[in-house]
C-alpha cells in the first residue's frame, strides 16, 4: 500500500466535470503526497467493484448496502457529507469493519439558522406580505389582513434536542420565548442549561406555538408527526421540518394545512425527494417550501467538507475520528488492525 486511496461519490461533480460544490475544498487531499483520490460513478447503490482498492469514501447521495463492500476488506471509513445517514446500511458498515462518520459540527449552526429563518418568515407572514406588495396599491390596502405573530412569551418546541435542536434554542434565546422539548435521549443537564423544559410527546404538540422537528429518521420516528398528533396542535401553531421528510406524514399534514387547522408550516424535506410536480402542497399559501437546501451556504458546505476530510485524515493517521455512528466498530479487532497499519505506514 503506497498510497492512501480515497473515493468520492461521483455526484460531487456536475455532468460537465466541474465541482458540484466549489466550497468543498479538496486542497488538503490534493496537497498530501501520500493521498490519491478519484470520483466513482454510480447510479443508486454503490457496488463493491466501485470501491475495490479504496481505504476511504466521502459520500454524498448514493446508497450503501451490504453489496457495496469489496472482498479486499480495505475500506475503513465512510464519511457522509452531512448528518443524515438513512441511505447507509449501518449494520453492513460494522459487519465489514468500516466506520460510518457524519459531520454534526458542520451542520449544527446552518440548520439551526434555517429553522429560525422559517420561524421568522412564518410568524412574520413574509410570503403573503411579499405577494400583496407586488400587487401595488390594491395589495397594500390589504396589509392589515396579514398581521404577524409576536414571539415574546410564545412557546418554541423542539422534537429532538440533540446537536441541532440545542443550537436552535441558543439562537432563539433573545426572542424571549418559552422553551419546551421532547427527546427520550435528552441530556437533562443540557436542557437545564438552555432553559428548556422536557415534556411528553403529546404535551409538546399541545403547547408549542412553533414546533420544530429535529430528529433522525428511523423506525421509531417514521411518521411520528401524524394525523393524531397534528390534531393536538393549536389553531395558530406552526410546524417546521428540516430533518427528514418521512418523519412527518405528509398526507396528514397537507390535509391539516388545506383545512387551515394550524397556522402554517415550513418544510425543507419531503417524503419523496425530489418532490413531484403535482404535490398538493405547492398550491397552498400557508406553507413555505424549500428543496432540502435551506441551510446550504458557502460556510455550511465548507464546514461539512472540512469535517469529512478531517475524518479521512484521522483514519489515515491511525486515529479514531469523531462523529462515528456505529461506535461498536471501534472495538472490533479487524478495524483496530486497519488503524494500526495506517499509523505504521502514514504516521500519526
Beta bridge partners of 241: 213, 267
What does the pLDDT look like over 269-325, one tens digit per residue? 999 999 999 999 999 999 999 999 999 999 999 999 999 999 999 999 999 999 999
Same domain, 163 and 120: yes
**Hey, what's the torsion of the CAs at 276, 277, 279, 281, to 10 degrees?**
120
How confident is the model over 176-199, as a mean pLDDT? 97
Same domain, 169 and 128: yes
SS3 content of the chain, % helix, strand, coil (to 5): 40, 15, 40
**249 CB-contact burial (10 Å; exposed 0-12 / middle 13-18 / buried 19+):** buried
Active site residue 244: yes
Q: Of 245, 268, 289, which residue constitutes the final position of a domain?
A: 289
Range of the domain at 174: 107-289
Active site residue 341: no
Same domain, 71 and 183: no
The dihedrals phi and psi of 196, each to the nearest 5 degrees, come to -105, 130
Same domain, 66 and 117: no
- Given a cut of 90, is residue 1 above it in pLDDT? no
What is the count of structural domains for the chain?
2
Same domain, 98 and 111: no
Same domain, 77 and 132: no
State the pLDDT at residue 130: 96
How far is Cα 233 from Cα 247, in angstroms, rounded to an integer? Answer: 17
Query: Which member of 292, 319, 332, 341 is catalytic?
Result: 292
CB atoms within 10 A of CB 106: 24
Is residue 82 within 8 A of residue 49, CB to CB? The reply is: no
Same domain, 88 and 154: no
Q: Of 269, 289, 309, which residue constitutes the final position of a domain?
A: 289
Task: Out of 4-8, 105-109, 222-226, pick the least confident.
Answer: 105-109
**Hey, what's the torsion of the CAs at 95, 160, 121, 174, to 10 degrees?**
-130
Query: Which member of 5, 182, 244, 250 is catalytic?
Result: 244
Query: Which member of 193, 273, 328, 337 is catalytic?
Result: 273
Domain harbouring 317, CATH code: 3.40.50.720
Active site residue 273: yes
Please state the pTM of the whole predicted model.
0.88
Is residue 215 within 8 A of residue 209, CB to CB? The reply is: no
Amino acid at each position: 500500500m503506497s498510497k492512501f486511496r480515497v473515493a468520492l461519490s461521483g455526484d460531487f461533480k456536475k455532468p460537465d466535470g466541474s465541482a458540484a460544490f466549489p466550497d468543498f475544498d479538496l486542497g488538503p487531499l490534493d496537497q498530501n503526497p501520500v493521498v490519491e483520490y478519484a470520483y466513482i460513478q454510480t447510479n443508486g447503490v454503490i457496488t463493491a467493484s466501485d470501491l475495490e482498492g479504496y481505504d476511504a469514501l466521502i459520500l454524498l447521495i448514493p446508497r450503501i448496502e451490504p453489496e457495496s463492500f469489496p472482498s479486499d476488506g480495505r475500506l475503513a471509513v465512510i464519511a457522509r457529507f452531512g448528518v443524515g445517514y438513512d441511505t447507509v446500511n449501518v449494520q453492513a458498515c460494522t459487519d465489514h469493519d468500516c466506520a460510518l462518520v457524519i459531520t454534526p459540527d458542520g451542520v449544527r449552526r446552518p440548520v439551526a439558522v434555517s429553522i429560525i429563518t422559517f420561524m421568522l418568515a412564518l410568524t412574520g407572514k413574509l410570503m403573503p406580505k411579499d405577494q400583496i406588495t407586488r400587487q401595488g396599491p390594491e395589495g397594500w390596502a390589504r396589509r392589515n389582513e396579514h398581521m404577524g405573530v409576536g414571539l415574546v412569551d410564545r412557546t418554541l418546541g423542539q422534537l429532538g434536542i440533540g446537536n441541532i435542536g440545542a443550537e436552535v434554542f441558543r439562537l432563539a434565546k433573545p426572542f424571549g420565548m418559552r422553551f419546551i422539548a421532547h427527546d427520550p435521549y435528552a441530556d437533562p443537564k443540557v436542557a437545564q442549561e438552555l432553559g428548556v423544559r422536557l415534556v411528553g410527546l403529546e404535551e409538546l404538540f399541545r403547547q408549542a406555538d412553533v414546533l420544530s422537528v429535529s430528529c433522525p429518521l428511523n423506525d421509531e420516528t417514521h411518521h411520528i408527526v401524524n394525523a393524531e398528533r397534528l390534531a393536538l396542535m393549536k389553531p395558530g401553531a406552526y410546524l417546521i421540518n428540516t430533518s427528514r421528510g418521512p418523519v412527518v406524514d405528509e398526507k396528514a399534514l397537507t390535509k391539516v394545512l388545506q383545512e387551515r387547522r394550524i397556522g402554517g408550516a415550513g418544510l425543507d424535506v419531503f417524503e419523496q425527494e425530489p418532490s413531484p410536480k403535482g404535490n398538493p402542497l405547492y398550491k397552498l399559501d400557508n406553507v413555505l417550501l424549500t428543496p432540502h437546501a435551506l441551510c446550504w451556504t458557502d460556510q455550511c458546505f465548507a464546514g461539512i467538507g472540512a469535517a469529512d476530510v478531517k475524518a479521512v485524515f484521522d483514519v489515515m493517521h491511525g486515529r479514531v475520528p469523531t462523529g462515528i455512528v456505529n461506535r461498536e466498530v471501534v472495538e472490533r479487532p479487524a478495524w483496530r488492525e486497519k488503524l494500526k497499519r495506517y499509523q505504521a505506514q502514514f504516521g500519526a
